[in-house]
A = this chain, B = another copy of it.
Amino acid sequence: MNIKKVAELCNVSVATVSRVINKKGNVKKETEEKILKVIEELNYIPNALARNLSKQESDVIGVVVPDVTNVFYTEVIKGIMESASENNLHVIFYNTDSDMEKEINALKMIKEQRLKGALLISALKKSNKDKKLLKKTLETLDMPLILINKYIDNLPYDGVFTDDIMAGYLLTEALIDNKHSNIAILTGAKNSIVANNRVIGYKNAFKDYNIDIKNENIIYADFNSIENSYKIIKKHFSNKDIPKGIIAGNNNITIACVRYFNERKIKINKDVSLVAFDDIEILNWLGVELTVVSQNPKEMGKEAFNMLFNRINNKSIPINRIHVVPELILRGSEKILK
């Protein structure tokens, strides 16, 4: 079934059928009604492939994500999907497992599919080699692209980012405000840009409040794995006094941390104050109500989609970078109760 058959059955030309499908007007009421009726009867659905090829553009966007099972990304994804569907756009997802090779490959596939645009949550680490490769791929991509979460310098793309430095600062300050001075931060891997920015915020707060920083209090766990983070935390704190203030660097690390504290019978508000990046709904449901800094992932997704939409519709607008203001949600876990 195709447009030609419909045209024949209606005794009109394909052009006319095309006009009514695309609501272009300039069609007599009667003919339009006749065509609509035949389309309905035949269950005819236009071929998007052909339309896209003809129009030289597709109605699909691509989204590249490190891990579709991580609740943070999951929320971003939901935001993107909602907005995309409101705008009749389809979404192809690529999961990279935080692997740069897969990420670059996904980008190439997006190019190959001639998608309308792309959203990228890069897994780029502090690696010059990967950075160069990514930049090169991005350059040849030649399509509207929005960066989410991971800022990459010297690249002319819009993006919506979290202000990790500020977030780190806020959490640290929340602890300092509660008389803490011995504060450990459990952040992501050493080569992770986000992990390092969070530490910078932490350090800035220490400087502003004239407190000395102890290097042993900066612990590099693993953003991508509860299990690995758990091992690192356990190893680091064995046979050691645990600092009274703890900052967990992301959702996975928080869970690892809560688990470790449970095991060692370390109580929040009594033995330790725990604050964290990312607001994990389940933890709240389970009564582990932590003071957190939240980045509103779903809103980030929607925001990123809007940026892409604007960029698609007007390639010449100036580059726009939004830094989402992290929201400090105080739930009491930053205190030690007497």
Contacts and interface: CB of A to CB of B under 8 A. Distances in A.
A48 B113 contact: yes
Contacts of A317: none
Is chain A's interface secondary structure helix, strand, loop, or mixed overall?
Answer: helix
A226 to B, nearest CB: 6
A178 interface: no
A83 to B, nearest CB: 11
A73 to B, nearest CB: 10
A113 B49 contact: yes
Given A49-B49, A69-B74, A81-B93, A282 B285 contact: no
A312 to B, nearest CB: 17
A287 interface: yes
Nearest to A109: B90
Contacts of A286: 255, 258-259, 262, 286, 288
A111 B45 contact: yes
A230 to B, nearest CB: 8
Interface in A284-327: 285-288
A26 interface: no
Contacts of A218: none
Interface string A80-111: 01100100001111110000001000001101
Interface string A34-50: 00000000010111111
Contacts of A74: 68-69, 74
A256 interface: yes
A232 to B, nearest CB: 15
A49 B47 contact: no
A52 interface: yes
Interface in A135-182: 140
A49 B111 CA distance: 11
A114 interface: yes
28 contacts: A45-B108, A45-B112, A47-B112, A47-B114, A48-B113, A48-B114, A49-B49, A49-B58, A49-B114, A53-B53, A68-B77, A68-B81, A69-B71, A78-B95, A81-B93, A81-B94, A85-B102, A91-B93, A92-B93, A255-B282, A255-B285, A259-B286, A259-B287, A262-B286, A262-B287, A263-B287, A282-B282, A286-B286
